[in-house]
Amino acid sequence: MTMDTKPIPKINEDSRPFWEGCKAHELRFQKCNKCGHVRWPPAIICPECHAKDTTWITAAGHGRVYTYVVYHVAYHPGFKGELPYVVAIVELPEGPRIFTNIIGCGTDEVYCDMEVEVVWDDVTVELTLPKFRPVR
């Protein structure tokens, strides 16, 4: 990786089903089979009831901006060409909040509680990132 290449997520055994879902253009999250809690990030035990029995579900792919920030400085050289850009936490109706980018609109158009939908950034043959755009 050169200095101007963006960092990419490190996929491990816990997160692999999520990233495989992204590659298939599906948002997948762990759901506790005991209490029904849907969680992100994935974990060995449920943070609500401590059960270990889980299922991976596919989320609908829409949500609302919970909070966001507009970056005007590239803290990594790989992002310099995208300034300014929005980093947000999107709250999904299934429960999880996901750290992502808001695209498809001006940085001055983003606001908290804005309805958004997932779009897919096929970064490499192996990696697809979920990003979100406004619902119009």
Backbone angles phi, psi at 107, to 5 degrees: -60, -25
Domain that residue 27 falls in: 16-134
- Residue 120 counted as domain residue: yes
Residues 78, 121: Cα–Cα separation, whole Å:
16
Residues 79, 25: Cα–Cα separation, whole Å:
24
- Residue 1 counted as domain residue: no
- Output the tens digit of pLDDT for each of the chain's 136 residues: 445 688 989 999 999 999 999 999 999 999 999 999 999 999 999 999 999 999 999 999 999 999 999 999 999 999 999 999 999 999 999 999 999 999 999 999 999 999 999 999 999 999 999 999 999 8
Q: How many domains does the chain have?
A: 1
Residues 125, 119: Cα–Cα separation, whole Å:
17
- Strand positions, DSSP E, 1-123: 28-32, 38-39, 54-58, 62-71, 85-91, 97-102, 115-122
- Residue 5 counted as domain residue: no
Give the contacts of 92 (CB within 8 A, at least 6 positions apart).
27, 59, 60, 62, 63, 98
> pTM of the predicted model, to two decimals?
0.93
- Residue 8 counted as domain residue: no
Residues 68, 87: Cα–Cα separation, whole Å:
6
Report angle CA 38, 46, 62 to the nearest 5 degrees.
15
